Structure 1
Amino acid sequence: MSGWEDEFHEYVRARGPALLRAAHQLTGHPLDAEDLLQNALTKTYLAWNRIEDRRALDGYVRRAMVNINISQWRRRKLEEYPSAELPEPPNDGPARDGDVHELLEQALESLPERMRAAIVLRYYEDMTEPEIARTLGVSVGTVKSTVSRAMSKLRDALGLRSPQPPR
């Protein structure tokens, strides 16, 4: 392999898991996320020599994933058809995976911008607290407190707060 191919393979080994998490957030399904990431990495491989700023690689791959996902969404055939009868409403049993995913997305959207950014960088991009601090231009202590407060708000929004024992 040539030097740039080695560099590409090393990039995929190092950033693959974080990029796969981002793809999963876009698609909501693990297998679709793998396909989406593979397509985006193929585009990145073909453009590798044209990408001068290697620090922008994650952004390039993410933008490719978003564009590919939108293109695939636009090409999908209509899978739902109108009906004269309404289906039975689901029972109030445990939430399905899709429901939990949707509730989490809504809870994330309700967070203030800095809290949402800190949560996404920490748990979806797997960045360390010092990396988040540099990215957001704040101190590590601010990152820690912001993530803690954001997680508390998410737990409250999702009804995951356990009852406090009496004092």
Structure 2
Amino acid sequence: MAGAAVSTVLGLLAMSLSGDFATAAQKPALLKLAAGARVGVVNLLDPGVTHFHASRQLQNSFLKTSTVGWPVSAMLMQALREGLTQMGLTPVAAVPTEALARAREACFLNAALAKGLPKACGPLYGQLAAAEHLEALIVLGPGLNDSTHAGG
């Protein structure tokens, strides 16, 4: 498989470094990566789970956030490693830059992802990818519990 192009769609967020970052979340394009391409796996989630209980009586509704006791980044990498390796790609655990971690709300929660990645977010991902010599990124980020947020 060496030297051959590997065609794949990398879920959540996939972008080519030479592509237009602002359109990464629009109509998913087939991303062609060479065999052995380095694919960064980035976790932007806090180690916590939030549960909202909606009751018929408002006073009985509540919001609870609990810190999880498992390594979210390691679990994400474990879940993706085999599939990426089978496609001939090289998964790389990438730590988000401080700037990217600060912008996660703007890049995920407050973004209309169905319209594409906010323009200000592209350079942040590009800087991380360039620093780590990555051809693509898979990013796990926070989202709203709302199917319209991502156009679904």
Q: TM-score, normalised by structure 2?
A: 0.30
Higher relative contact order (CA 8 A, sep 6+): 2
- Kindly indicate which of the two structures has a greater share of residues assigned to strand: 2
Task: Report which of the two structures shows the higher radius of gyration computed on alpha carbons.
Answer: 1
